[in-house]
Structure 1
Amino acid sequence: MRLIDYLDKGAEFGSDKPCIVYEDRNWSYTEVVELTHRIAAACVRDGFKKGTKAAVLSPNDPGALIAVLGILRAELVWLPINPRYALDDITDLLDRFDCELLIVHPTFAPVIDQIRAAAPGIRLVLVLGPSLDHVTALGDWIAPAGVRHEGGGGAHAEDVAAIMTTGGTTGRPKGVLQTNRGFETYVASYIATVGRDERPNYLVVAPMTHAAGFMCFPMLVRGGTIFISPGTDPRTVARSMERHSISELFVPPTLIYTMLADPEIRAMRFPALKCMLYGAAPMSVEKLREALEWLGPVLSQGYAQVEALMLCTVLRPEDHYIDGEIAGPERLSSCGRPAPFVMMGVMDKEGRLLEDGAVGEIVVRSGNVMAGYYKDPEGSAEASRFGWHHTGDLGYRDEEGFYHLVDRARDLVISGGYNIFPSEIEQVLWGHPAVQDCAVVGAPDPKWGEAVTAVVQLKEGRSADAEELLSLCRSRLGSIKTPKSVLFWPELPRSPVGKVLKRDIRETLWAGQKRRI
């Protein structure tokens, strides 16, 4: 299936049913399907052929989602670029990924000329909303009402549907080639594990250029309604969940943390909720248990990366419980079992698959694995060795088949000759009632080489001192794994998709040093 086929399939459940809802406005499946045909027909009319690169640069917006579906119907390659990136990063990606058609939200109007200058390959810029002096409105450009785009006859499973960007947590983002087959594998795995009901009500909270947007496809294919949240603050999200009887949504762990800390939200109940999928960053076991006590058996965890599209593993709602009781830390700290259409293993550096309990690199074999990195054959070959995709994540499989992420290989701290996994320390710190979030990294040290250092963000109105946190770590982890120091920062640096940027923390701590390890 092509990505646009999910929309057309969903329309079979009732073309008059709402497809997209934003505040008090809704678009039926009939309206959305027609608009995508008009956009696709205009693409063909103006010479944008199959495989042409196109981007929609916008915050979460119904017009942006319809525009994405329109370029997908034309079989252009979608470039989901996060609008929260810095302008220099946006223009770099548009230029490197050979964007020719760009559709922007009006908030980007002041920088359109800068974008054009930095990405000269862009042939046409359109704007969502009214036309500007030098930019045509998408609504004025599309083909007349009633025009149909009859394409898709030459579509193949291996056609590239999107060039996604890696998180950029380690440096310059790469372009990830994801195919029709990759999305189809993801959608099938999602429906087989957590999204079984027809006509779900799905709330988009996180950026549509990332996991929250990719989740629109398993919603559309089931005839679901996509509600776009008017804000991302916890109370707005919770009220939207309540008002619209939301049954499914994706949230990063940090949003769950802030919801748990708000008494008004904690008093709310969401009887329609079937699946709150959390992921994109590690989840505190203590806060996960607290969320389960509040929400009940509706939480699911997904492990994936853009190179191996959602989902690789799933910790289903029922997996959070054992014999009717909330499971213990060993189960709750896992990322689940492999999804139905995914093979996984744990591999050493020589390409040998390891036994249960042994720590190595998580490897994946599935239809959801990327076709490669855009214009980066060396990087593509490095990620695909010994017949498996290499995730760069260290972990192990337990005797029940659940996978546990130990850390990113690059985040390993080597202190005094010992290999120390920051995630183990972070789990302990997250359990302190005053800690909102934390990150553990290695800082330069003349004696140890790297000194384990905890950078902590406290909850508003709460307090804790360094010795209190160090004592907690010593009691739970012993002296070797206990941080040598604790730093309190007002907030942790994050990527546009909410991941903590340990790279930025390390750069601050290693400033002026010639070495980085």
Structure 2
Amino acid sequence: MQLSDYFDAAASRYPNREAFVDGDGTIRINFAEAQKLVYAVAHALRTDDSLGLGAHIAIYSPNDYRISLLQIAINRASMVWVSIHTRNAVETNIAVLDYADCDLVFFHSSYEAFVPAMKTGLPRTKTFICLDRASEHGANFAEWISSHQNVTLPESEVDEDRLAVLQPTGGTTGPSKGALLTNRAVEMSLISVFSALDMDHETRVLAVAPLTHAACFVTLAAAVRGGATVVLPSFDAYNVLDTIARERITHLFLPPTIVYALLSSPALDHTDTSSLRCIAVGAAPIAPEKLKEAVRRIGPVIYEVYGQSECLFPVVAKQPADYLLESGEFDEDALRSAGRAVPFARVEIMGDDGALVGPGVRGEIVVRSAMVMAGYYKKPEDSSAVSARGWHHTTDIGIRDARGFITIVDRMKDMIVSGGFNIFPAEVEAAINAHPAVLECAVIGVPDGKWGEAVKAIVQLKPGQEISEAHLIDLCKQALGSVKAPKSVEFWTDLPRSAVGKILKREIRARFWEGQWRSV
């Protein structure tokens, strides 16, 4: 089956159960109402002469209860959802959508100021639709679907190998790579999510992390199980805690940074969190001491999940029973790990020679699963490289112990994961190197208690030149957005280089990670 089939099955079983709730509780829709909206959107898409089967549809919005319904409707219409990150600079998103050959963009009014630039930069994209109100820059969503209410939408033939999602992954040079995810991959990810996280029709998810990325699979998994989702537009610790208590939330998916923010909130100790069954931490490793604190203060409800855009998630998962002993003490080795391979994935460690290695040997984490992507969009060479020898190559370095626990200890590629977001240093380096006072720079991730990794720039200035740290950080914020901008800048007289003049970034990075138990 495909995503929309699972949703239809849930709507048939639980038509009157609550499905989606707007953050403040003013909008509450049940499964029958949600299905009606899905059908209207799918019918509007299918009857649009400018769109065909397989059209690429993007959603440019902060968290909104309609996002999951749009994703289901796009699937119901046999079209492809294109993920874009709202915290990217608009120029970045134009490049992403141009590369993805986007046909239509749903946008929220909070981003409508960027739509004129998108229209100029995306001549292929003919249709823009504003989700939440009338806009001079696009059709009003409510009016757009008004003539498609109570329609009969013919069943499309299910093709499990048809593309369902185009998930941009970022890139160090040129346009982003886009992971092509089929109906089969999405289906298996949903099954893996609700299996690993113990979801059922009583589940109530609080959506805080961006639904433009991994968090959407948790929301969708809840929907196909007949559970409900409460959607908050942005993170505020007090609001999150208040919503957990008021809405009797059972499940959250959070990056470590939000977990840390909740732990630092004075309101936590005065909030009723007894409804919680699972806080799934993903997008980056959680610090072991923070995990322990969360268990002590919230309870044994902390899970950890690991995956990638290219192989979805979870392919590796850690549940409380994995790291809590019967005595109540922590199993330190299990605690530091990402978990064990889920039943729906084979996860191994591969040596440099391409052979799989045994317990205790360091190597690249490789995956086989129906969750793995079909390839990168329009990039056959990259697709072949990442699937060499019949395995998906994560480029993460790990060690598996005799019990099957996999600990991620390093990263082969240059990517920085800060607060759950992927940042590619070449982009930041290009912005800094463009300044006339800069000779060259190296951008790395350094240990950070809040972000996991913080972006740091090591800069070598030209002789006789001066520039402030604040100026370079502000330059990057303007060019790339605040997420990608360095949190700190150091000025070195000389950067370490190889015999051929290449900056030895691993040597720079090692100075900041010395004494850490891991290197990511």
Paired residue for 1:136?
139
Paired residue for 2:517?
none
1:28: Cα distance to partner? 1.4
1:245: Cα distance to partner? 0.4
1:242 aligns with 2:245: yes
Paired residue for 1:334?
337
1:290 aligns with 2:274: no
1:81: Cα distance to partner? 0.8
1:444: Cα distance to partner? 8.6
Paired residue for 2:46?
44
Q: Following superposition of structure 1 onto structure 2, how do residues 86-235 of structure 1 map, counting pairs within 5 Å?
A: 86-142=89-145, 143-153=147-157, 155-166=158-169, 173-235=176-238
Greater shift, 254-263 or 392-401, is seen at 254-263
C-alpha change, 1:510 and 1:314, in structure 2 (3 Å) is farther
Paired residue for 1:515?
502
**Aligned-partner Cα distance in 2 for 1:405–1:441:** 21
Q: Percent identity?
A: 32
**Aligned-partner Cα distance in 1 for 2:166–2:78:** 13
Asked if the contact 1:395/1:405 (under 8 Å) is kept, the reply is: yes
1:320 aligns with 2:323: yes
Greater shift, 6-15 or 170-179, is seen at 170-179
C-alpha change, 1:167 and 1:277, in structure 2 (3 Å) is farther
Paired residue for 1:389?
392
Q: Deviations over 1:226-278 (max 9, x none)?
A: 10024301111111111100011101111111111122213323111111100
**Aligned-partner Cα distance in 2 for 1:56–1:100:** 11
**Aligned-partner Cα distance in 2 for 1:94–1:378:** 21
Q: Secondary structure of the equivalent of 1:126?
A: strand
Q: Following superposition of structure 1 onto structure 2, how do residues 1-40 of structure 1 map, counting pairs within 5 Å?
A: 1-22=1-22, 23=24, 24-40=26-42
C-alpha change, 1:98 and 1:244, in structure 2 (3 Å) is same
Greater shift, 131-140 or 115-124, is seen at 131-140
Paired residue for 1:462?
none
Asked if the contact 1:201/1:227 (under 8 Å) is kept, the reply is: yes
Paired residue for 2:72?
69
Q: What residue ranges of structure 2 are gaps of 5+ in the alignment?
A: 417-443, 461-472, 496-500, 505-520
Q: Deviations over 1:407-442 (max 9, x none)?
A: 1113599xxxxxxxx99x94xx75xxxx78655989
Tell me the amino acid that sits aligned with residue 152 of structure 1: S
1:112: Cα distance to partner? 1.8
Paired residue for 1:252?
255
Asked if the contact 2:323/2:334 (under 8 Å) is kept, the reply is: yes
C-alpha change, 1:497 and 1:25, in structure 2 (3 Å) is farther
TM-score by length of 1: 0.81
CA RMSD of aligned residues (A): 3.1
**Aligned-partner Cα distance in 1 for 2:346–2:451:** 35
1:96: Cα distance to partner? 0.7
**Aligned-partner Cα distance in 2 for 1:119–1:507:** 35
1:344 aligns with 2:344: no
Asked if the contact 1:260/1:266 (under 8 Å) is kept, the reply is: no
1:378 aligns with 2:375: no
Asked if the contact 2:312/2:372 (under 8 Å) is kept, the reply is: yes
**Aligned-partner Cα distance in 1 for 2:258–2:135:** 36
Asked if the contact 1:304/1:312 (under 8 Å) is kept, the reply is: yes
Tell me the amino acid that sits aligned with residue 380 of structure 1: S
**Aligned-partner Cα distance in 2 for 1:438–1:77:** 33
Tell me the amino acid that sits aligned with residue 276 of structure 1: I
C-alpha change, 1:12 and 1:227, in structure 2 (3 Å) is same
Asked if the contact 2:284/2:452 (under 8 Å) is kept, the reply is: no
1:115: Cα distance to partner? 0.6
Tell me the amino acid that sits aligned with residue 26 of structure 1: R
C-alpha change, 1:512 and 1:86, in structure 2 (3 Å) is farther
1:171: Cα distance to partner? 7.9
**Aligned-partner Cα distance in 2 for 1:347–1:509:** 38
Asked if the contact 2:208/2:234 (under 8 Å) is kept, the reply is: yes
Q: Following superposition of structure 1 onto structure 2, how do residues 485-504 of structure 1 map, counting pairs within 5 Å?
A: 504=486
1:194: Cα distance to partner? 2.0
1:85: Cα distance to partner? 1.2
**Aligned-partner Cα distance in 1 for 2:183–2:389:** 24
Asked if the contact 2:189/2:217 (under 8 Å) is kept, the reply is: no
**Aligned-partner Cα distance in 2 for 1:436–1:100:** 35
Q: Secondary structure of the equivalent of 1:156?
A: coil
Q: Deviations over 1:101-150 (max 9, x none)?
A: 11111122222221111011112111113333352112112233211211
Q: Secondary structure of the equivalent of 1:99?
A: coil
C-alpha change, 1:279 and 1:90, in structure 2 (3 Å) is same
**Aligned-partner Cα distance in 1 for 2:314–2:492:** 36
C-alpha change, 1:109 and 1:292, in structure 2 (3 Å) is same
**Aligned-partner Cα distance in 2 for 1:182–1:441:** 36
Aligned length: 454
1:63: Cα distance to partner? 3.0
Q: What residue ranges of structure 1 are gaps of 5+ in the alignment?
A: 414-421, 446-488
C-alpha change, 1:78 and 1:159, in structure 2 (3 Å) is same
1:286: Cα distance to partner? 0.9
C-alpha change, 1:319 and 1:511, in structure 2 (3 Å) is farther
Paired residue for 2:401?
398
C-alpha change, 1:342 and 1:329, in structure 2 (3 Å) is same
Asked if the contact 1:510/1:516 (under 8 Å) is kept, the reply is: no
